[in-house]
Amino acid sequence: MTKHAPRHAYFEGRIVPYADAKISVLTQALHYGTACFGGLRGYWSEAESELYLFRPQDHYKRFLNSAKLLCMELGLSREELVGHTLALLRAEELREDCYIRPLAYKAEEGIGVQLRGGRDGLAIVAFPFSRFIEKPDGAHLTVSSWTRVGDNMIPPRGKIAGSYVNSALMRADAQAAGFDDAIALDHLGQVAEASVANLFILRDGIVATPPTTGSNLEGITRSSLITVIEAELDTEVVERPIDRTELYLADEIWICGTGVEILPVTRIDHRPIGEGQIGPLAERVRTVFQDVVRGRNARYRSWLAPVYRSGAQVAAKPERESARPR
């Protein structure tokens, strides 16, 4: 997934050589999953010789909310986190598409499950990154036998490290059976999301996606697509529960997220979706999204933070937001 190890990391309040960013094997987060993380992308624009960080304010808002769920006190605002990330990217001198991973973790050493008290650690790394899953003809997914964790188990709206064991079990079993990824159902038997991505379906001319109250992540890419599909493609998007059998009857399906970006799904459980090939709307969504993240659509420039431009400013909130809850 990475071409080479990072040269630097933001660790314990400063940028240090990557090799110096180390924790003890007795660190509590390592034993109990008491950590949270984020995932941001930087997109290189050849036309402008600039690296753009996509919606960093929104990513770090969610990151701080995830930390809050774990009773963490990081002592940094999202503006400060964005600033440290921009500084790290400049130190790393990345001039290609990249991925940024912030991680907050319970840093005390010792045995015993606890959230309150003790020290909270923070690290950020960045590295070159292209496609998470290469599937030019569309992905083949399966509905997992594992149930998605719910809000009264491990809150799925946060990127809580321990909850990704749930995702790992789904994905491992799916890949062992010859599929590319898995789709998770919630405790009510309704569609939640893919193992590490949100999900959209097109059925009878209307795009639908499970609500954020449906045991899924409050995805930044998901919220971006709701806005972009309605504004740029003049297609209605509704947030509603989706039944399993609706997947088999959909005209098009795609999954989305920071890592996977937009990945069309052409088969589920050996059943073709629509015509069994990438649909026209999914293809348009991918194209429009790439224009947005690379700065080619002026309407969404406020979603981007330039890394190298002199006097680069932190990206502000988008001028246009969907009225739906995120």
pLDDT digits (tens, 9 = 90+) for 82-114: 999 999 999 999 999 999 999 999 999 999 888
Element (H, E) at 86: helix 78-92
Instruction: Name the strand (E) or helix (H) holding 33.
Output: none
* Phi, psi (rounded to 5 degrees) for 72: -90, 145
Interval 102-155: pLDDT, tens: 999 999 999 988 899 889 999 999 999 987 777 889 999 999 999 999 999 999
What pLDDT is stored for residue 316 in this prediction? Answer: 40
Assigned domain for 36 exists = yes
Q: Are residues 150 and 44 in the same domain?
A: no
Domain end call among 128, 161, 189: 128
Same domain, 265 and 197: yes
- What are 239-293's pLDDT values in tens digits? 999 999 999 999 999 999 999 999 999 999 999 999 999 999 999 999 999 999 9
pLDDT of residue 3: 61
Residues 82 and 145 in one domain: no
116 plus 88 within the same structural domain: yes
pLDDT of residue 259: 93
Q: Is residue 306 part of a domain?
A: no
Stated pTM of the model: 0.92
Which has more pLDDT, 277 or 325? Answer: 277
Minimal CA–CA distance to 243: which of 225, 260, 268?
A: 268
Residues 116 and 177 in one domain: no
User: How would you label 54-74 residue by residue, b for 16+ Cβ within 10 Å and e otherwise?
Assistant: bbbbbbbbbbbbbbeebebeb
One domain, residues 30 and 86: yes
In a domain, 53, yes or no: yes
191 and 95 belong to one structural domain? no
Strands 237-239, 206-209: pairing is parallel
**Structural domain that includes position 188:** 139-293
Instruction: Indicate which CATH number applies to the domain containing 22.
Output: 3.30.470.10
* 159 carries an active-site annotation: yes
Residues 170 and 99 in one domain: no
Does residue 231 belong to any structural domain of this protein? yes
Report which secondary-structure segment, H or E, holds 209.
strand 206-209
Q: In this structure, are 148 and 220 located in the same domain? A: yes
Number of structural domains (the chain) is 2
Domain co-membership, 276 together with 154: yes
Q: Residue 194: which CATH number?
A: 3.20.10.10
Residue 162 and residue 40 in one domain? no
Q: What is the mean pLDDT of the chain?
A: 92
**Torsions phi, psi for 248 (to 5 deg):** -70, -25
Give pLDDT, residue 131: 75
Catalytic residue among 22, 135, 159, 317: 159
By the 8 A CB rule, do 123 and 10 touch?
Answer: yes
Query: Is there a domain that residue 317 lies in?
Result: no
